[in-house]
Amino acid sequence: MTPPILRTKAALRDAVLGWKRAGETIGVVPTMGALHAGHLSLVEAAKADCDRVIVTIFVNPKQFNNASDLENYPRTEEADAEKLAPFGVDAIYAPGPGEIYPEGFATAVTVTGLTDGLCGSHRPGHFDGVTTVCAKLFLQTLADRAYFGEKDYQQLQVVTRMARDLDLLTEVIGCPTVREPDGLALSSRNVLLPPETRAAAPALNRVMRQLAERLAEGESLGPVRFQAEAALREAGFSEVEYIELRSADGLETLEHPTRPARLLAAAWLGGVRLIDNIAVG
Ligand code: PAF
């Protein structure tokens, strides 16, 4: 059975207060819809940990820094509800924009530091939009735990920091990236890739894995990064926004993986921005 779809925060509040009174734990999986196996793995993790699970579907205008990106973002609510049917999800929360940003809404949640660089430099305002909506979704759902994919690694770090800094009662849980058999990280944007570019898309992960191996063997990022960028352009990517090595915790810039580290990249293929990250060392 497809889960009930709640459209208002009042309906959501009724449901969650009932569950809370009964002493049940609540897990939330925040999404913008266009669900894929990566989202479903988060639902499975939430189901394993929590008595009740809510999946939120809200294409958050505040986190798009480009109007056509917002307009083109895939919206597939009916298919999403069908995909959730086998998982025993208790509710889909799919609010209209007015439920999240009512007339006169004037508040923003900003995390500093962690949002500098990487996607933060290339998508101005993006993380303020993410942290503002996540704070609202955590408070509206009264969730004990919220599940995020490691694929958006900077987002995971930023939202974790936000929840800690604001003493929110929601614990942020990171879950591993789910990939296609050829290595491409699952993303709702993958459906936007023109068919003729799809074969080139796994080059991002392949080149990153080769680069990570060389870093783990002691080479420094500087010179090998240029070779990686050239390999991506050769594969058909039009622009490489960044390839960076950062500490896994705190996202400090590194030249060598001298502590647990993450290699993160963003690059454009066929007019679509792809991001990925992997552990190094
Ligand atoms: O990762 C996403 O899909 C979005 O950034 C999120 C966390 C649902 C906030 O809108």
Q: Across residues 198-216, what is the average pLDDT?
A: 98
Q: Across residues 7-17, what is the average pLDDT?
A: 98
Ligand 1 proximity of 133 Cβ (cutoff 6 Å) = yes
Ligand 1 proximity of 154 Cβ (cutoff 6 Å) = no
- The alpha-helical segments, DSSP class H, found in the chain are 9-21, 37-49, 67-72, 77-84, 97-100, 119-122, 126-141, 153-165, 203-216, 221-235
Distance CA 78, CA 92 (A): 11
Q: Across residues 136-153, what is the average pLDDT?
A: 98
- Indicate if the alpha-carbon torsion angle 251, 253, 256, 262 is positive or negative: positive
Q: Across residues 21-34, what is the average pLDDT?
A: 98
Q: Which residue has its alpha carbon closest to ligand 1 atom 5? A: 130
CATH of 188-280, one of 2.60.120.10, 3.30.1300.10, 3.60.21.10, 3.30.70.330: 3.30.1300.10
Q: Across residues 129-149, what is the average pLDDT?
A: 98
Beta carbons of 159 and 28 less than 8 angstroms apart: no
Ligand 1 proximity of 152 Cβ (cutoff 6 Å) = yes
> Matching CATH topology for 5-175 and 188-280?
no
Q: How confident is the model at residue 281 (pLDDT cuts 50, 70, 90)?
A: confident
pLDDT in tens, 43-56: 999 999 999 999 99
pLDDT of res. 146: 99
Q: How confident is the model at residue 200 (pLDDT cuts 50, 70, 90)?
A: very high
Is 5-175 CATH 3.40.50.620? yes
With the most atoms of ligand 1 within 8 angstroms of its CB, the residue from 28, 29, 32, 154 to mutate is 32
Q: How confident is the model at residue 88 (pLDDT cuts 50, 70, 90)?
A: very high
pLDDT of res. 123: 97
pLDDT at 68 over 90: yes
With the most atoms of ligand 1 within 8 angstroms of its CB, the residue from 36, 60, 148 to mutate is 60
Domain ranges of the chain: 5-175, 188-280
